Chains A and B, each alone.
Chain A
Amino acid sequence: MDTHNNSEKPQDTGHEWDGIRELTNPPPRWWLISFHIGWIWCIIYFLLYPSIPLINGSNEGLLGWTQIKEFKEAVAENDAVKAPYVEKLKAMSASDIMADAELRNFAESAAKAVYGDNCAACHGAGGEGAEGLFPVLADDNWLYGGDIDTIIETITDGRMGDMPAHADMLEAEQIETLTDFVIALPKGEASKAGWAMFEEAGCMGCHGDNAKGGALNDDTYSGAVNLTDQVWRFGGNREEVLRTIRYGVNQDDVAQTRSAIMPAFGEKLTAEQIKILAIKIHAMGGGQ
């Protein structure tokens, strides 16, 4: 590989015009070799791969290779690795899956994308919810029940809260009394008068005699919140509590009513997707 072109005197071709001589001064050997390898490579590549743009896409190339084919192969390869797990997920019940650490990890990882696409917009990437608007999934406070089957039911069929507006039903002072009572309850400072008003207004019909809400009292409306715990569905300051009692939840003809609707995903997602979603949500912090 002689890179020194002018190490010797360039050869004279013998051609001469008006005293101007033509010399040969060849390019370096390494350059020539690279050049020839280059064009040979081009031809081989041209034949093997799609290279001629035609009206309906390009020609096929001898290898029949395309990017989309390669992508599909890679996806199929990935699916093949996952297949045994996916089969098991289909066959097993959610609670059986949760008992198997490895399958459970697989289900939780597999649910990440589905959760991100369908749930995270309202409930947050980590199930942290949005204060006053969308329920937290990572705590142990469940309006409808936090066992795996109820979670599956909630995702499949959706939920819609229903609390009547009391602005027209009760006097303003009565609502004030109830508000004080609700705020005092979690602190354990509820007054006798408060309990009396609670009963009189018929709140226990949904929230239960003990005010612990529907999920803990089988005979009452299951979506009613537990008023005695430390978690607030719509905010715990006086203003917010007043609004909730006055205008209720999901009341069609009340302008300031709270909106609390969980859409049904039964038709949008497959049963397997809902199953792994439920497992992921169950593991977020408060599954029962």
Chain B
Amino acid sequence: MSQNRKSADSLEDLYADTLHYHVNTGGETIHAKRMPGRFRNLKWLTMSTWLAFFIGPYLQWGDHQAILFDIPGRKFHLFGATIWPQDIWMLSLLLILLAITLFGVTAVAGRVFCGYFCFQTVWTDVFTWIEDKIEGNAIQRRRLDKAAWSADKIRKKTLKHSLWLLVSILTGITFAAYFTDAFELWNGYLTFSAPYIAWVVLALFIAGTYILAGFMREQVCFWLCPYARIQSVMVDKDSILPTYDYHRGEPRGKVKSKSSDAATKGDCIDCKMCVGVCPTGVDIREGLSEGCITCGLCIDACDSIMDKVGKPKGLIRYLSHKEMDGVTLPPVFKRPRVITYSTIFMLAVTGIIYGLATIPPVELSIVHSRQPLFMRMSDGSIQNKYTIKAVNKLETDQRVSLTVKSSSGDVHMVKEAYFKDITLKAGKMVPFSIFLQATPASLEHENTDVQLTIQGITQPDITVTYDSVFVGPKK
């Protein structure tokens, strides 16, 4: 891809580059070699954060599931907090937060998400680990694929696909368990009595996991994933990425004898180990590739070889474009991108913390009836009708009072005394109507601003106000 680092003297050179640029559109299966190393360990560590996903549904908080996206009940439980549809604006902040985190991290250290955390990478890695354990190393796997069908091949393939399906099923059930009671769901699946929609979700997840992690693998990163495209364009000359140090490596060549042309040759012995271990089948020595998920496994591979041939490690290492050209990187927090991203990040975090801390216990919405806008009563006064929608988000019934204040005129509530002490049922929204009346002479304008207030009696600290309007005849 970015051969631009070598000077392209003419147009022909550019075309020559693309000519040998190899595109894998899934025609070949990548059997990557698995080998130990620093980044391999790091990868296991970061992958293990996904264990939380599998444990999550079984955690309890008080009397309910700690994380429960109760869609029929229109409520999200996140540990102590209950999020109602009215609070969903926080979701947009959360999405901004996640996007900005992704952008910021990418600007500093490339596709960290892709290489270490992405479910596609993680599940593919688990699937290939299973494959490796059953079918053997990369060479054996390639041989097995080519071999004629035999009892042994059938046994290995069946075992592998069964385990893949098992992981897929577990993934599907776990995902579904976030949306309903986890234990009940297991019971439903095991006794074949789960609701229809649960089976659909499970089927989709099994198919998705099995196909994406088992068969499509790096093809997803190449051609399907929008994040990959976004992230690829977010790196700049400051971003540190796994890079082949061509100053040191070139001209590459096999080590034949120590005496001959060792002096004129670079450190790269062209062992192709870096290509062999790459889960997306990229040759890092071609420069940064769109297929590179920056997982660092080629660094592990190269370091082990450099050790063997007695040369210093780090022929492939995390390196920025600038460093490659001998420029020192500016400190992280002096880079404009990082400053911008951090600012947005902090704003979003502040917003979410504020939102979570101030979820109102009672949500009030008032609809002024528009047909008729107002009614003249037999004593000549003007009456307006309002529908009150008060949601009590708390776990207990709340006694509250409902009062009205107007900017002018003698606007008052019909059956005022009754609304001095009403009960809002726990976790419910039962709409009711109220009528406001005023004598037309007291109204200064056609429209009068009114403010309705719900004041807690059970919990005096609850005060919610809502501004509406009282409509009278034309003045």
Name A's B-contacting residues (CB within 8 A): 1-4, 101-102, 105, 124-128, 136, 138-141, 186, 226, 229-231, 283-286
Assess whether B371 is in contact with A139, with CB atoms less than 8 Å apart.
Answer: no
In the complex, the answer to whether A3 meets B379 with C-beta atoms within 8 Å is no
Residues of A within 8 A of B369 (CB): 126
With A101-B430, A126-B372 as known contacts, state yes or no: A1 contacts B26, CB within 8 Å.
yes
A-B pairs, 5 with minimum CB distance: A126-B371, A229-B378, A128-B372, A230-B380, A141-B378
Which segment, of B229-237, B402-410, B431-439, faces chain A?
Answer: B431-439
Q: Which residues of B contact A284 (CB under 8 A)?
A: 385
Give A2 to B24 CA distance when docked, in angstroms: 9
A139 touches B433 (CB 8 A): no
The docked-state distance in angstroms from the alpha carbon of A255 to that of B297 is 101
Given contacts A126-B372, A128-B372, A283-B433, contact A139 B25 (CB under 8 A): no
Q: Give bound CA distance, A226 to B378, whole Å.
A: 9
B27 at the interface (CB under 8 A from A): yes
Residue pair B25, A4 in contact (C-beta under 8 Å): yes
Interface of B (DSSP majority class): loop
Report the bound CA distance from A258 to B375 in whole Å.
24
Chain A residues with CB under 8 Å of B432's CB are 101, 105
Minimum Cβ distance to chain A for residue B371 (Å): 3
Q: Is the CB of A230 within 8 A of B379?
A: yes
Say how far A136's CB is from chain B's closest CB, in angstroms: 7
Bound CA–CA A141/B380 (angstroms): 11
Residue count of chain B within 8 Å CB distance of chain A: 20
Contact residue among B27, B375, B378, B430 (Cβ-Cβ distance under 8 Å from A138): B375
| Given the contacts A126-B371, A231-B376, A231-B378, A102 and B430 also touching, CB distance less than 8 Å | yes
Distance of B312 from chain A, by nearest CB (Å): 42
A2 touches B377 (CB 8 A): no
CB proximity to A under 8 Å, residues B343-383: 369-372, 375-380, 383
Give A140 to B377 CA distance when docked, in angstroms.
6
Interfacial chain A residues near B380, Cβ < 8 Å: 186, 229-230
Q: Complex Cα distance A52/B379, Å?
A: 70
CA distance A283 to B431 in the complex (A): 13
In the assembled complex, 12 residue pairs joining A and B whose CB atoms fall closer than 8 Å, in A order, are: A2-B25, A2-B26, A4-B25, A101-B430, A105-B432, A124-B371, A125-B371, A126-B372, A230-B380, A231-B377, A231-B378, A285-B383
Chain B residues within 8 Å of A128, by CB: 371-372, 375
Cα-based distance from A231 to B433 in the complex (angstroms): 23
Contact A230 B385 (CB under 8 A): no
Partner of B375, one of A3, A101, A136, A229: A136
In the complex, chain A residues whose CB is within 8 Å of the CB of B433? 283
Q: Nearest CB to that of B371 among chain A residues?
A: A126
Query: Would A140 and B378 be within 8 Å (CB), given that A2-B27, A285-B383 are in contact?
Result: yes
A45-B435 Cα distance, complex, nearest whole Å: 57
Contacts of A105 in B (CB 8 A): 430-432
Please report the C-alpha to C-alpha distance between residue A226 and residue B27 in the assembled complex, in whole angstroms.
Answer: 91
Report the minimal beta-carbon distance from A275 to chain B, rounded to whole angstroms: 19
Which partner residue on chain A sits nearest B369 by CB separation? A126
A156 to chain B, nearest CB (A): 25
Q: A138-B383, A285-B375 are in contact. List 17 more A-B contacts (CB 8 A).
A: A1-B26, A1-B27, A2-B26, A101-B430, A105-B431, A126-B369, A138-B372, A139-B375, A139-B383, A140-B377, A141-B378, A186-B380, A229-B378, A229-B380, A230-B377, A286-B375, A286-B377
